[in-house]
């Protein structure tokens, strides 16, 4: 009932979030829509310029909480759900590569995907830096709750609801979360040069899974982080 009573405030906060770049790198120009929302799997849903990123971010945390490995076939996209599989076709030489979305970006006008070094090499754009590409949707992401359910049910955990390059964007998410979870105090914590929005420690994987499911009702993404030994003691 608390969330229903404060719906106007929640709606305003969610609109703010759509305009924020939920990433560890520079923010975008404004609200973005999922270009693949109505695209059949296997068909081209987006055409534009691909770029790649490597050494400067290798080993750092991606927007979905993983460590970026430039030698794996991954990519950053502004809108697609994490763990979506995409085929990238270089229109200049016909080469193709399949990548998994685990990060946010690029945020330069005209660019639609930021590839790992390994993916850039497969497409033959390591030296040139960019290429015009087609993107085809192979499978949609959004499987984070299933991953959380596989954890030990007695393991204490936390939910990460977002990661932002700008603290004000993280605090905007806090306003929305306060309406969605009136009894659960999320907070902003700086980590690896970005501002992460984290729940307090929860008693079990089931409790964390319930938080993920409620986030999904509001079209918000999150994932489970197991509590470290320092947090448990």
- CATH code of the domain containing 191: 3.30.70.1070
CATH code, domain with 70: 2.40.40.10
Residues facing 136 on adjacent strands:
44, 87
Region class of 62: left (phi > 0), else alpha (psi between -120 and 50), else beta: beta
User: Is-contact 86 77, C-beta < 8 A?
Assistant: yes
For residue 33, tell me if it sits in a domain: no
% of the chain surpassing 70 pLDDT? 73
For residue 188, tell me if it sits in a domain: yes
Distances (CA, A) of 23 to 47, 63, 180, 212: 22, 5, 22, 19
Q: Are residues 53 and 99 in the same domain?
A: yes
**Domain limit, last residue, from 139, 165, 182:** 139
**Domain limit, last residue, from 105, 139, 173:** 139
- Domain span at residue 177 reads 2-21+144-232
Q: What pLDDT does residue 66 have?
A: 84
Q: What pLDDT does residue 184 have?
A: 92
For residue 158, tell me if it sits in a domain: yes
For residue 227, tell me if it sits in a domain: yes
For residue 221, tell me if it sits in a domain: yes
Q: What pLDDT does residue 208 have?
A: 87
Average pLDDT of the chain is 77
**Bond into 149 cis (ω within 30):** no
> Each residue of 165-191: pLDDT tens digit?
888 888 888 888 988 898 899 999 998
Number of domains in the chain: 2
Q: What pLDDT does residue 9 have?
A: 53
For residue 118, tell me if it sits in a domain: yes
For residue 99, tell me if it sits in a domain: yes
Q: Are residues 73 and 124 in the same domain?
A: yes
DSSP letters of the chain? -HHHHTHHHHHHHHHHHHTS--SSS---SS----TTTTPPTTSEEEEEEEEE--TTTTTSB-TTSPBP-TTSSEEE-SSSPTT-EEEEEETTT--EEEEEEEE----STTEEEEE-HHHHHHHT-TTT--EEEEEEEEE----HHHHHHTS-TT--EEEEEEEESSHHHHHHHHHHHHHH-TTS--EEEEETTEEEEEPPPBS-HHHHHHHHHHHHHTT---EEEEPPHHHH-
User: Is-contact 158 224, C-beta < 8 A?
Assistant: yes
Which residue ranges of the chain lie beneath pLDDT 70? 1-41, 142-155, 227-233
Q: Are residues 116 and 151 in the same domain?
A: no
> Each residue of 152-167: pLDDT tens digit?
445 688 898 888 888 8
Q: What pLDDT does residue 3 have?
A: 43
Q: How far apart are CA 34 and CA 78, in angstroms?
A: 8
Q: Are residues 94 and 154 in the same domain?
A: no
Q: What pLDDT does residue 34 have?
A: 53
Q: Are residues 158 and 129 in the same domain?
A: no
Residues facing 115 on adjacent strands:
52, 75
**Domain limit, last residue, from 139, 167, 202:** 139
For residue 16, tell me if it sits in a domain: yes
Q: How far apart are CA 90 and CA 122, in angstroms?
A: 10
């Amino acid at each position: 009932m608390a969330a229903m009573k404060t719906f106007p405030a929640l709606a305003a906060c969610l609109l703010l979030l759509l305009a924020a770049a939920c990433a560890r790198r520079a923010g975008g120009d404004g609200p973005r829509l999922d270009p693949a929302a109505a695209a059949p799997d296997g068909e081209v849903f987006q055409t534009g310029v691909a770029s790649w990123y490597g050494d400067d971010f290798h080993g750092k945390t991606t927007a979905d909480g993983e460590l970026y490995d430039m030698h794996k076939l991954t990519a950053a996209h502004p809108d697609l759900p994490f763990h979506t599989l995409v085929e990238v076709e270089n229109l200049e030489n016909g080469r193709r590569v399949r990548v998994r979305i685990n990060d946010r970006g690029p945020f330069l006008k005209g660019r639609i995907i930021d590839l790992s070094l390994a993916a850039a090499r497969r497409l033959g754009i390591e030296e040139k830096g960019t290429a015009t590409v087609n993107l085809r949707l192979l499978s949609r992401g959004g499987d984070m709750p299933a991953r959380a359910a596989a954890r030990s049910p007695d393991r204490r955990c936390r939910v990460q609801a977002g990661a932002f390059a700008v603290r004000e964007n993280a605090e905007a998410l806090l306003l929305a979360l306060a309406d969605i979870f009136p009894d659960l105090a999320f907070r902003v914590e700086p980590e690896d040069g970005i501002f992460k929005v984290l729940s307090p420690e929860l008693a079990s994987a089931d409790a964390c899974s319930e938080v993920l499911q409620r986030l999904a009702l509001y079209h918000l993404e999150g994932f489970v982080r197991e509590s470290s030994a320092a947090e448990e003691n």
